[in-house]
Structure 1
Amino acid sequence: MTQLGATVTPEGIRFAVWSSSARRLWVSIFDGNGARELDRLELKPEGEDVHALFVSGLADGTRYGFRADGDYAPERGLWFDPDKLLTDPYAVEIDRPYQFHWRLAAKRNEGADTAPSMPKAIARPLPKPLAVKPLLFQPGGLIYELNVGSFTKLHPDIPEAQRGTIAALAHPAVIEHLKRLGVSAVELMPITASIDERHLPPLGLSNAWGYNPVTFMALDPRLAPGGLKELRDTVAALREARIGTILDLVFNHTGESDRLGPTLSLRGLDAQAYYRHLPEGRLANDTGTGNTVACDHPVVREMVLDTLRHFVRLASVDGFRFDLAPVLGRVDGVFDPDAPLLQAIAGDPVLADRVLIAEPWDIGPNGYQLGNFWQPYLEWNDRYRDDVRRFWRGDAGMVGALATRLAGSSDVFGTAGQPVSRSVNFVAAHDGMTLADLVTYERKHNTANGEQNRDGHNDNLSWNNGVEGETDDAEIAKARFGDQCALLATLFASRGTIMLTAGDEFGRTQQGNNNAYAQDNAITWLDWAGRDEALERYTSALSAMRRAFPALSDTHFLTGKPSNASAIPDVEWLTETGAPLGEADWNDPGRHRLVMMLGHSGDGRLAVMVNGDRRQCLFTLPAREGFEWRPATATQAVDLARPLPGRSVTFMIERRAMQTRAGKAS
C-alpha cells in the first residue's frame, strides 16, 4: 500500500489516508498556532481505498487534520461527520495534549465544529533511520516498569522543568539509580498521546497511566515536549549505560470508547474497518473500554507493524510490551496464536530480533491465554504473582506451587517440549497493589477514584501486619519490612525474566489504591525524599547476587539432573533438615519451608532457603568435603549454626574451602 500520513518534501506535503466507506475526505490546513483553519482541500481516490493529495508550498511544521463524510448510522458502525476534525492515524507529532470536551462526542448536527477542541497533527520530515543495534536486554534479565510522568515528578535532582518527562530518564541521577539496581531494560508505560475517559474531568481527575490512546505513533506532548528527538536521545543515553528500552504499547482499543464516546480519528474515518463489531452492529468490547481494535483487518495490521518499525528504526528501542495482547491475536473474535498479526510481528525483518512481551489476557470470550503465545513472545505471568502472594500470605499447601514458580513455571510454559521459560515473573505491577501496600492493606482503598470503591480488583491476595495502614508501631513496621524483603528475594531467586515496578524497591505506597490510573498526583508520584533506603540497598544486593550467579537467571527449565560434567544436579529440593522433599512433604498443607539447591559453576551450589513460617527455624545444608557454605549476599550475615528468622529467604553459596599454607582447610 502507498505511504500514508503526511510526507514532507522540499516542494510540499503529500497527505494520504485510508477509508473504505467514506464518500468524501478533506485535509484541513491550520495556521502556525493551530487556531485558525486556513484551507480545506478535498483528497482524491488513488485506488485501494487510499485518498491523497499533494499540496505544494507547505513545509515542515504544517498543522493539519482530516475530515470525512458519509453515512451517519452508529447502529451500523458509521460515524461520518465533517464537523469532526480527525487526527491522522499516522501522525508522528501533535501540537498539544488531548482534552475531553462534550462536543467531541456530540451527534452529527448536534454539535459545533470540533477543531477548537482538537490538537492538530504536525507534519514532520522523519529523521534518518538509526543503524540497527544489538539488543541490550536478554531473557532472564531485570525489567524495570515505570510511569514516565510519575517517576521523576518529585525527584529532587531533576531540574523542575524536566520532571515527569522522557528526557528526565537520561539524567545522571536516574541512570545511576538504574545501574545500582542492575536494571537490564526500562519498560515505559504508554508514552503515546492519550485522552482522559469522559467520566474523569467532572471528578477533577485525569488519566495518569496513558492506556487510552488516540493514535499510535505521536508521543504525548506532556511526556515528550521535545518530540521524537527526546525519545531518541533518551534511549541513546540509556543504551550508553547498558540499559535497554521497552515500550508498552496499546493496540487493543483507543480513547474513542463506546458508542457514546468521542470521535477523534479512526471512528470518523472508517469505524467499520478499524473496530470490531458484533453481528448486530454493536462495538465489540473485549477490552472493557468500550471498543476493540480490529487487529485482523489488513489495514490495521499494517498500521501496527508500521508503528513498531517506526520506534525501532527511529529510536532504537529494544522491544515492546503489548497491552491486552489476545486482541492482537483475535481472528473474527477468536484468539489464534498463529494469527496473522502475531506472526507478522515475530517474522518482520525489522522486528524479529526485538523483545516481544504479551500481557496474555483480555476480558473477551476465552480471553485468558497465559502460556498460549508462541516463541519468541515472553508473557506476563499472573500465576506467578498470585502463587507467590498466597505463599507469603500464609495460605496452606502452597510449597509445591512456590517451587514451580521459582523454577520457571514449566506447567505453563513447558508444554510441547519447550526447553525454556517465557515467563515474566512479577509480584506487583502498575495495575494493582504496590509491593508495600501488599503487606499493609488487606483490602483496596479506591475512594479517591470517585467510584465509591467499586473499581479495581477485590481479591488482592494481600495482608496486613497489625492495624491496616498503621506505620507508627515499630514491630509492625519491622514485620512489613521483612515481608517486602521476602517477596523481593523470591522474585530475584526465580528463573526466567523478572520485572520490578519503579519505587517498589524503596517502599512506594498508593495508600491502598489498587487502580490508581486516574491519580496524577502524590498517590502515584514517587516519593524520592521519603524512600526506604534500607529496602533499596537490599534490592540492589539481591540484583547483584542474581547477576553473579547465572543459575538464577537461566531460563532453561530445571530437570534435577546434572547440567555439566560436575555430576551436580541442576536442582535439588530439600527440607530444612537437608533431606530431599518427599511426596508427603510436597502434599503437607502445613509445610511453609523448603530449600532450592541449584547447581552452580565451579562445582559449587547455591542454596535458596525459604522459611515461610512465622517461627524461626534451624536449616541444615548438606556438606561436601573440601567445600564450605558462605552467605551469598553482603546484606545477610548468616550463621547456619543458628535458626533463620521466620518469613525470610536466605541465600548461601557453596565454595571450595580456603587452604592454609599447611594445606589444611581454614
Structure 2
Amino acid sequence: MHDDGAATVWPGEHQPLGATWSEESTNFAVFAPEATAVDLCLFEEHDGTLVETRHRLTEKTLGIWHGAIPHLPVGQRYGFRADGPWAPGRGRRFNPAKLLLDPYARAISGEVTHHDALHAHVRPNRRDDAETRSQKFHTRDERDSAPYVPRSVVVHDPFDWGDDRSPKVRLTDTVVYELHVKGFTKLHDRVPEHLRGTYAGLATPPVVDYLKDLGITTVELLPVHEIVPERHVARLGLTNYWGYNSIGFFAPHHGYSASGDRGGQVTEFKQMVKALHAAGLEVILDVVYNHTAEGGPDGPTLCFRGLDDYGYYKRVQPDQDPYFDVTGCGNTFDTTFPGALRLILDSLRYWVTEMHVDGFRFDLTPALTRDRTAIDLRGSFLSAVAQDPVLRHVKLIAEPWDASMDGYQVGRFPPPWVEWNDRYRDTVRDFWRTSSGGIRDLAYRLSGSSDLYADDGRSPYASVNFVTAHDGFTMRDLVSYDQKHNEPNGERNTDGANHNRSWNCGVEGETVDPGIVALRHRQAANLMVTLCLSAGVPMITAGDERGRTQLGNNNAYSQDNETSWVDWRPDDAWLDLYDITKTALRLRREHPALRQRHFLEGRPAVPGGPKDLAWIHPDGREMAEQDWYDEGLHTLGMFVSGDPLRAPGPRGERLRDASFLIWFHAPPEHGKVVVPVNDWLQVGEVALSTDPFHPTGEKVEAGDVLRVSGRSMIVLRQL
C-alpha cells in the first residue's frame, strides 16, 4: 500500500548526502543526475501491514535530488524510487517500480528475498532462446520490488566517545588478527549467549583479554558493511558468510547486531570500537568497494543500478554494455566517476571520523585503480586517498591483485600503502614442505622482502606477511590435507584453489596416529613462529593459533556454521600451538631486533660492530654465493644483531638489544648445525624451539654442534 504525501515535502538541502535528522525535520539527499523524477518512500506498520508513503522530491541541485520531511522519528525506514530513461544496453536502467536503498544509509533494516521482481528487466528463464532473452532483458519489469528488499533507516546517534583515542600502533609494532565478527564468538562459552556472534560479543572481557594475552595489537574485521547473499548461494540454502558482497558502504551489517536493525547496530558498533581501544587494540576494516551486491547487468536492482547504472559501474566501452568485470562478481565500481569516487571517500572518512576505526584493508585494490580499463597507480583513487587529510593518516592495506590477468601488483603500491604479500605465503609454505628449491627466496621473505619494497624507498613493514587468511586452508588444515574438500559448498568441489602448497603429513584429514599428530603440531608451530619472527607485519587468521579446522574446506565463504566458527572447547584445541605463538609474539614485542623499521644491509650498524644481518650455513660459516643456488639446501641460520640496532630510538638514541640466531631446518631427517665461532654470539640460550632436543633455556656456546630434529626450528638469544 502507498499514499502520495508530496505536499509535506520542504525543499531541504543538497548537502550532506543521505538522511540527516533533526527535531524539526529530516533532510534527504540522493545523487541521481540522469533521473527525471525521484520519490522518497517512507514505511510504517499499521495493523500488521506495511504502508508506504511516497513524497516526490521536487528540488534538484548539481545532480542531487533533495527534500526535507518535518518531524520524522529516529528509526524511520525509507527508500527511493527513481524514474528516467530506459535503455539497458547503454546503462540507463531507471525503473520506479523498484525500491532502492540510500547509498548513504547509516543503517539498513530487513533482508533481501530473492525474487524475479528484484530485477529492473523481465528476467528470462533457462528455456528461452537468445532472441527471447535479449527481448526480455530490454523490457522493463513493472512489478513492485518493495516486498522483497530491505529499507534504509534514519539514524541519529549522539554517542559519547569520552576520551576515546586511537592506539595508533606503529606498523613495526603491529600484529594483525583477521577475524569474523560472528564466527569469533558464536561458540564462545564465556560470552553471554545473547551477545554471541555480535559486535557487543566481540567487546566482552573474555574476548578482549584473549586478544591481549595472545599479543595482538590490531583486529582486522572481515567485511561489516551491509551484506546481501548472492541468488545462487541463497538457492542452495547457504549465505555469503565472509561478507564480500556489500550493498551499504556506510551501514554496519545488521546481522551482527544484538541491538536490532533500526539503528541500534550503529551504537553497538561504536561501543565495540571504544572497548577495544580502551584495551589498546586497533580496529581496521576489510572493505569491499571494488564491486557491489548487484552483480552483473542481469542482476537485481537494489541501489546503485537504479540511481545511475552508467555512472557507478565500469564498462568495456563507454556508454554501452557489457560491464568491465575484474572482480569476478559481475561488476566493477567505477572510481573514475566523480559520484562513485566521492561515495567511497565519504564512506572511508565516515568510518574514521564517526565510527573511530583505525584503518582499512582494501579487497582487490587494483580494481579501484583502473582508469577506464588499465591500472593507473597515479590515478584518481590512490591520488585522492593520498591527499585526503583524514585518510592519509590511517593504516591503508592493499590486497594488491584483482581477478584479471594484469591485476597482480605486488610490490608496486606507493607509500603510505602497505600490501598483503602472497609471495611470503607461498615461499614459507613451500620451504616447510621442502618444495622451495633452496633457501634463496626464503631469505628475502624472512628479512622483509627487500626485492619487492626497497627499490621505491619503502620499509619491511610494507609487507603484510601471512601464511593463511580467511580464503584458503586454515593452519591446521594446511598440515592435514593435500586436497580441498569443498563439497558442502554445493558446487561439486569445483570451487576454491586446487594448488594449496599444503602437505597432509602422510594421511589425508583427521587421524589419531600419534606420530602424524605430533608432526602436524610441529609443522604448524614452524609456520607460525616463522611468521611471527619475520621482518614485516605478521597477520594471523583467527583460530589458527589454537588449531581451528574447516575439515579441508578451502573456500568456506558460504559456511555460516561450525565449519567456519571458532571452536573454543579445549578438548580438540592445539593449546601447545597457542603457547608457542604467544611466546613468539612476546619475543617480537620485547626485542626491537625482531621487528626492524629499516632493511638490514649485511654490514655493521656502527664501525667495529657486528653485521646487522648475516646468513649462516649449517656448517657454521656465512653463506657463500654458490650456496644460494644450492636447490637441495633446506637448512638456514639467520643472525640478527641487536648491538646496537640500526634504527634509532624515538629520540634518536642508539638502542641496544639482544642478538638472535634463528635456525630453520625443513628436511624430515635429523641434522646438525654449528653455532658460528665469532664475536656475534659467544654464549646464548634457547629462547624458543619446536625441537624436542632443545628445550627453552638450554645454554649454547660459539662452536657448539647442535643436533636438530627433522622439520624444526631453534631461536637462540645472546646472553
* Contact 2:166–2:282 (Cα < 8 Å) also in 1: no
1:518 aligns with 2:558: yes
Structure with bigger RCO (C-alpha 8 Å, 6+ apart): 1
Question: What's 1:663 paired with?
Answer: none
Using the alignment, how far apart are the partners of 1:417 and 1:310 within structure 2?
31
Question: What's 2:364 paired with?
Answer: 324
Deviations 1:403-427 (A, max 9, x none): 1000111111112344544000000
Greater CA deviation, 545-554 or 480-489?
545-554
Question: What's 2:622 paired with?
Answer: 580
Compared CA separation, residues 606 and 35, structure 1 to 2 (3 A): farther
- Which residue type is aligned with residue 267 of structure 2? K
- Which residue type is aligned with residue 685 of structure 2? R
Question: What's 1:533 paired with?
Answer: 575
For structure 1, list consecutive stretches of 5 or more residues without a partner in the other structure: 656-666
Question: What's 2:525 paired with?
Answer: 485
* Contact 1:97–1:220 (Cα < 8 Å) also in 2: no
1:90 aligns with 2:104: yes
Question: What's 2:26 paired with?
Answer: 13
- TM-score, length of structure 1 as denominator length: 0.95
Instruction: Give runs of aligned pairs for residues 283-432 of structure 1, distance below 5 A.
Output: 283-364=323-404, 366-432=406-472
* Contact 1:5–1:15 (Cα < 8 Å) also in 2: yes
Q: Give the superposition deviation at 1:242.
A: 1.0
Aligned residue pairs total: 655
Which of 9, 30, 43 pairs up with 1:30?
43
* Contact 1:100–1:196 (Cα < 8 Å) also in 2: no
Question: What's 1:124 paired with?
Answer: 155
Question: What's 2:687 paired with?
Answer: 632
Structure 1 residue matching 2:357: 3-state secondary structure? coil
Deviations 1:379-434 (A, max 9, x none): 00001111111111211523011110001111111123445440000000001111
Question: What's 1:542 paired with?
Answer: 584
Which of 209, 217, 220 pairs up with 1:187?
220
1:607 aligns with 2:661: yes
Q: Give the superposition deviation at 1:618.
A: 2.3
Which of 674, 679, 682 pairs up with 1:620?
674
Q: Give the superposition deviation at 1:32.
A: 5.1
Q: Give the superposition deviation at 1:45.
A: 3.7
Question: What's 1:175 paired with?
Answer: 208
Deviations 1:177-232 (A, max 9, x none): 10111101000000111111110122111111010011201111111343111111
Which of 651, 654, 657 pairs up with 2:715?
651
Q: Give the superposition deviation at 1:642.
A: 4.3
Greater CA deviation, 187-196 or 339-348?
339-348
* Root-mean-square deviation over aligned CA pairs: 1.9
Compared CA separation, residues 643 and 111, structure 1 to 2 (3 A): farther
Compared CA separation, residues 504 and 83, structure 1 to 2 (3 A): same
1:557 aligns with 2:557: no
Using the alignment, how far apart are the partners of 2:390 and 2:403 within structure 1?
31
Deviations 1:543-578 (A, max 9, x none): 111111212212311210122466121100001122
* Contact 2:93–2:306 (Cα < 8 Å) also in 1: yes
- Which residue type is aligned with residue 193 of structure 2? E
Q: Give the superposition deviation at 1:174.
A: 0.7
Which of 285, 288, 300 pairs up with 1:250?
288
Structure 1 residue matching 2:143: 3-state secondary structure? coil
- Which residue type is aligned with residue 4 of structure 1? L
Question: What's 1:60 paired with?
Answer: 74
Q: Give the superposition deviation at 1:288.
A: 0.1
Compared CA separation, residues 165 and 99, structure 1 to 2 (3 A): farther
Deviations 1:288-323 (A, max 9, x none): 000010112111111111111111112211111111
1:41 aligns with 2:74: no
For structure 2, list consecutive stretches of 5 or more residues without a partner in the other structure: 1-13, 123-139, 644-655
Question: What's 2:249 paired with?
Answer: 216
* Contact 2:166–2:277 (Cα < 8 Å) also in 1: no
Compared CA separation, residues 236 and 57, structure 1 to 2 (3 A): closer
* Contact 2:34–2:308 (Cα < 8 Å) also in 1: yes
Structure 2 residue matching 1:404: 3-state secondary structure? helix
Structure 2 residue matching 1:235: 3-state secondary structure? helix
Compared CA separation, residues 5 and 484, structure 1 to 2 (3 A): same
Structure 2 residue matching 1:633: 3-state secondary structure? strand
Q: Give the superposition deviation at 1:84.
A: 0.7
Instruction: Give runs of aligned pairs for residues 136-147 of structure 1, distance below 5 A.
Output: 136-140=168-172, 141-147=174-180
1:105 aligns with 2:119: yes
- Which residue type is aligned with residue 53 of structure 2? D
Structure 2 residue matching 1:476: 3-state secondary structure? helix
Percent pairwise identity: 41
Using the alignment, how far apart are the partners of 2:389 and 2:120 within structure 1?
43
Structure 2 residue matching 1:433: 3-state secondary structure? coil
Instruction: Give runs of aligned pairs for residues 256-267 of structure 1, distance below 5 A.
Output: 256-267=294-305
Compared CA separation, residues 301 and 35, structure 1 to 2 (3 A): farther
Using the alignment, how far apart are the partners of 1:32 and 1:553 within structure 2?
58
Greater CA deviation, 363-372 or 502-511?
363-372
